[in-house]
A and B are shown apart, each in its own frame.
Chain A
Amino acid sequence: MSVYLDHAATTTVLPEVVAAVAEQMAQTGNASSLHSSGRRARRVVEESRERIADALRVRPSEVVFTSGGTESDNLAVKGTYAARRAEDPRRTRLVVSGIEHHAVLDPVLHLVEQHGARVTWLEPDADGLVPVAALEEALAQGPDDVALVSLMWANNEVGTVQPVAEAAALAREHGIPFHTDAVQALGQVPLPLDEVGADLVALTGHKIGGPLGVGLLVIGRDQRPVPLTHGGGQERQLRSGTLDVPSIAGLAVAVEHAVRHQEEESRRLVALRDRLIGEALALDPTIEVSGWWRPGDRTRRLPGNAHLRVPGCDGDSLLYLLDAAGVECSTGSACQAGVPQPSHVLLAMGVDETDARGSLRLTLGRTSTDEDVTAFLRALCPAVERARRARAASGRRVG
């Protein structure tokens, strides 16, 4: 049985979610139908929406179901850009952090290439935190041409929690819609959406023990992003498509669970994370931790995230060797045709490309135990030694 340390990729589904999904799957009913089967399905959807809204402290009408984080981010970025430009054609500028997930970055780049958008990138500091001052400066250039500000709640690679409340408040001062990708944050850090004035918040089910393929976008009542899909007009006309009743029922269970257990779970995960990082650094002093980290901290770094850089190694070699030793983890960055690319997040933080290639992301979740951390620490040094030899044998030539 292997040790799973990749909970940020996806995590174990909660048994009560499986039960909720299975129960709904056994039922027939299109939530848009007017007959009793349809009404039954509609009731499940709307009650799920209300439970989610309660847990997230938003209004039910602000919860729009989607297929997951990527779709939510696309709807937020592309839909808002189109809507804001339609209102005022000068609004072609996007103010976006340089450490966003590809689900935000790529829609932004698409808008640049295809729809005349310009971007002001908010670069992080060496700790992986985007300074609020960078946003102030970007908006001071003239807020009238800005279509959208986007800053993720917590980074998916290095786990840093961004100053979203301050950033959202700044955007609001200027009347600019604010989007945050909170996919990694839910269940790990508090998400007081009633206090943080974010207009758009992307969330997904499968990072919190919910089903794959379902997520949501919190869309403030004043926001009218142009839809990505057109059709039956479901979800305030913002997201057409027959509602996935079983998945939505499962999502509600998972969101409630994540919010209810966030406090205790974060305490438990922080202890595991701190042991993992602390002992890894002690085992090999050349290893560096990426992103802001202080033992015991539960607010500036995701409790379940450890990101290590191992000099002289290729991340994919480490990945293979750890996998062969029964430890499953990730390099943290995206692949292109199966080839891990140096992380844009690390590069933005000022890490050089060679060091960025030796990355390991270990992410803890609900099923993680102290034994998992021990197993990783035991496998680490032999893997590092081999991976270093492999790079020396076949690596890029220097000079």
Chain B
Amino acid sequence: MRVVAAMSGGVDSAVAAARMLDAGHEVVGVHLALSQSAATLRESARGCCTIEDAGDARRVADRLGIPFYVWDMAERFREDVVEDFVAEYSAGRTPNPCLRCNEKIKFAALLDKALALGFDAVATGHYARIVERDDGAGGVRRELHRAVDPAKDQSYVLGVLDAEQLARAFFPLGDTPKAQVREEAAARGFSVARKPDSHDICFIADGDTRGWLTRRLGERPGPIVDPDGTVLGEHRGAYAYTVGQRRGLGLKVPPADGSKRYVIRTDPARNTVVVGPEDLLGVDELVGDHARWCGPAPEGPVRVGAQVRAHGEEVPAVAEAHRDEVRVTLERRIRGVAPGQSVVLYDGTRVVGSATIARAGRAAGTPAAQSSTGRR
């Protein structure tokens, strides 16, 4: 097959490209320029689209003897990922931009351009597995599964891919522990073998999401209240608070019973941050929209494992899909669930699909964290 290997300049995508080549594919390396200021040099270990990263990717491609191109997708990335991120925070939700990037950029803009240019698929260095199964009709069904290395598993951020996207995706690293990938990179003589992992959000170079959001959204002061509406303090922008957060609240009124107080939700319509005792944080019923299925959509209530953040715990649950919406009832309460987060559903190691959490509450009893607005 003719395959585009998306090469970030990191060790994982380098080894992924090499493995595709070893498997006999015709491989072309493509580095995505996603930053609005691609000409800036690395500011920290984070980030994925500096001159240095492009140069590292090019070095690997040269060593493999494959063509290498930089594709400028900064504008699409800005529209579909960065601005979406800002709008979501502004509306009181907590998005995961990596899912959005996979859905809209890597397996949409990049994949579509690759297909149009005559390629058959895109390979990335994500830690996840594609398992091919007989579809019972003489064809092959491709399933997305967790990686074998649980510490590195990235199936969560790929849970937005549909069957069509998966049919054109390769994840050559899903069967290998990270340590082994580094060893392999060193054995292949890649200069990036010891390069630190990227983490956090690539377009927020210094890792200070709150500061970055403040620069984008400006200060929007408002009250911090308890669940009854009593004002306990002031915030400078509700977007800077995360459900489950305890530190940095700066409350002036001490709690009546001396218990610790947590952010239990933010209310963008009233510009308030609601804080309360720990037990209000627990939720066991999630309603998600923008459902994406990695295969056929489940029919009726199905038993699944639900995961609400990238390296979060999987909790047994029952999920029921209704068109674009999914209701997920968890077997036990979990904490720190905010609207905008994605819930990814698993059947064993297989990814069933995902949805964006619109509301989180309790199956029986008072709702805890609940957003008053749905997703646009």
Where the two chains meet, the residues of A that have a C-beta atom closer than 8 Å to any C-beta of B are: 316-317, 319-321, 323-324, 335-340, 386-387, 389-390, 392-394, 396-397
When the two chains form their complex, are residues B112 and A393 in contact, meaning their CB atoms are under 8 A apart? yes
If A317-B113, A340-B72 are given as contacts, then 15 extra A-B residue pairs at C-beta distance below 8 Å, sorted by A number, are: A316-B71, A336-B38, A337-B33, A337-B51, A338-B54, A338-B69, A339-B38, A339-B71, A386-B117, A390-B116, A390-B117, A393-B112, A393-B116, A394-B113, A394-B116
B292 within 8 A of A: no
In the assembled complex, which residues on chain A have CB atoms less than 8 Å from the CB atom of B50? 337
Q: Which of A320, A386, A394, A397 contacts B28 (CB 8 A)?
A: A320
The residue in chain B whose Cβ has the minimal distance to the Cβ of A341 is B72
Is B75 touching A396 in the complex (CB atoms < 8 A)?
Answer: yes
Chain B 61-89 interface mask (CB, 8 Å, partner A; 1/0): 00000010111110110010000000000
Given contacts A338-B54, A394-B116, A316 and B69 within 8 Å (CB-CB)? yes
| Cβ-defined contact, A394 with B112, below 8 A | yes
Given A387-B117, A394-B76, are A337 and B112 also a contact pair (CB < 8 Å)? no
Known: A320-B28, A338-B58. A386 touches B116 (CB 8 A): yes
- With the chains together, A1 CA to B49 CA distance in Å? 33
Most chain B beta-carbon neighbours within 10 Å: one of A316, A393, A396, A397:
A393
Q: Which of B39, B79, B110, B116 contacts A397 (CB 8 A)?
A: B79
A320 to B: closest C-beta gap in Å: 6
Report whether B39 and A337 are in contact in the complex, using a CB–CB cutoff of 8 Å: yes
Q: How far is the CA of A132 from the CA of B72 in the complex (A)?
A: 38
Given contacts A320-B67, A320-B69, contact A394 B33 (CB under 8 A): no
Q: Contacts of A338 on B, CB cut-off 8 Å?
A: 31, 33, 54, 58, 69-70
Binding site for A on B (CB under 8 A): 28, 31, 33, 38-39, 50-51, 54, 58, 67, 69-73, 75-76, 79, 109-110, 112-113, 115-118
Chain A proximity of B27: nearest CB distance (Å): 12
Which residues of A lie under 8 Å from residue B115 when comparing CB positions?
A: 393
In the complex, are the beta carbons of A390 and B38 less than 8 A apart?
A: no
CB contacts (< 8 Å) of B109 on chain A: these are: 393-394
In the complex, A321→B69 CA distance in Å?
11
Distance in Å from the Cβ of B164 to the closest Cβ of chain A? 14
Which of the residues B33, B113, B116, B117 comes within 8 Å of A339, measured between beta carbons? B33
Residues of A contacting B71 with CB < 8 Å? 316, 339
Residue of B nearest to A340 (CB): B72
A319 cross-chain contacts in B, Cβ below 8 A: 69
Query: Are A337 and B70 in contact (CB-based, < 8 A)?
Result: yes
Tell me the nearest residue of chain A to B80, going by C-beta: A397
Q: Top 7 nearest A-B pairs by Cβ distance?
A: A338-B70, A394-B113, A393-B112, A390-B116, A389-B116, A337-B38, A339-B72
Which of B67, B69, B79, B118 is close to A386, meaning CB atoms less than 8 Å apart? B118
Closest to A388 in B: B116
Task: Check A337/B54 contact, CB under 8 A, given A320-B69, A396-B75.
Answer: yes
* B75 proximity list for chain A (CB < 8 A): 396-397
Within the complex, the shortest CB–CB distance from A338 to chain B, in Å, comes to 3
Central interface residue in B39, B69, B73, by most chain A CB within 10 Å: B69
Contact A321-B72, Cβ < 8 Å, known A337-B38, A339-B38, A397-B79: no
Q: How far is the CB of B127 from chain A (nearest CB, A)?
A: 26
- Please name the residue on chain A nearest to B75 by beta carbon: A396
A selection of 20 A-B contacts at a CB cut-off of 8 Å is A316-B69, A316-B71, A320-B28, A320-B67, A335-B70, A336-B39, A337-B50, A337-B54, A337-B70, A339-B33, A389-B117, A390-B116, A392-B116, A393-B115, A393-B116, A394-B73, A394-B76, A394-B112, A397-B76, A397-B79
Q: B107: shortest Cβ distance to chain A, in Å?
A: 12
Complexed CA–CA distance, A393 and B110 (Å): 9
| Closest A residue to B67 using CB positions | A323
Q: Which residues from A are CB-within-8-Å of B76?
A: 394, 396-397
Quote the shortest CB–CB distance from B359 to chain A (angstroms).
31
Shortest CB distance A43–B (Å) = 41
Q: How far is the CA of A215 from the CA of B142 in the complex (A)?
A: 58
Question: A300: shortest Cβ distance to chain B, in Å?
Answer: 34
A249 to chain B, nearest CB (A): 31
Bound complex: CA A335 to CA B50 (Å)? 14
Query: How many angstroms between the C-alpha atoms of A343 and B117 in the bound complex?
Result: 23
How many whole Å from A329's CB to the nearest CB in chain B? 14
- Residue among B28, B54, B70, B113 making CB contact with A393, cutoff 8 Å: B113
In the bound assembly, the distance between CA atoms of A339 and B34 in angstroms comes to 11
- Write the chain B residue with the least CB distance to A317: B117
Distance (whole angstroms) from the CB of A297 to the closest CB of chain B: 35
Which chain B positions have C-beta within 8 A of A337? 33, 38-39, 50-51, 54, 70
A14-B112 Cα distance, complex, nearest whole Å: 44
CB proximity of A396 to chain B, nearest CB, Å: 6
CB distance from B56 to the nearest CB of A (A): 12
Residues of chain B with a CB closer than 8 A to A397's CB: 75-76, 79
Residues of chain B within 8 A (CB-CB) of A393 are: 109, 112-113, 115-116
Query: Are B33 and A321 in touch, CB under 8 angstroms?
Result: no
Task: For A324, list chain B residues within 8 Å (CB).
Answer: 67, 118
Across the interface, name the chain B residue whose C-beta is closest to A357. B72
A166–B58 Cα gap in the complex (Å)? 45
Which among A321, A335, A336, A340 is the interface contact of B117 at CB below 8 angstroms? Answer: A321
Most buried by A among B58, B73, B110, B117: B117
Distance (whole angstroms) from the CB of A261 to the closest CB of chain B: 34
| Residues in chain A near residue B54, CB distance under 8 A | 337-338
Give the chain A neighbours of B113 by CB distance below 8 A. 317, 390, 393-394
- Nearest-Cβ distance from residue B245 to partner chain A, whole angstroms: 36
Known: A337-B39, A337-B70. A320 touches B33 (CB 8 A): no
Most chain A beta carbons < 10 A, residue from B28, B38, B70, B72: B72
- B2 CB → nearest A CB, Å: 9
- B167 CB, nearest partner CB in chain A, Å: 16
Bound form: Cα–Cα A352–B70 in Å: 23
Nearest-neighbour CB distance to chain A for B41, whole angstroms, equals 10
Residue of B nearest to A338 (CB): B70
Docked Cα-Cα span, A355 to B109, in Å, equals: 21
> Which chain B residues lie closer than 8 Å to A335 at the CB level?
70
List B contacts of A394 (CB < 8 A): 73, 76, 109-110, 112-113, 116
A394 CA / B115 CA spacing, docked (Å): 10
What is the minimal beta-carbon distance from A340 to any residue of chain B, in angstroms?
A: 8
In the complex, chain B residues whose CB is within 8 Å of the CB of A387: 117
Q: Which residues of B contact A317 (CB under 8 A)?
A: 113, 117
Q: Which of A340, A387, A390 has the most CB of B within 10 A?
A: A390
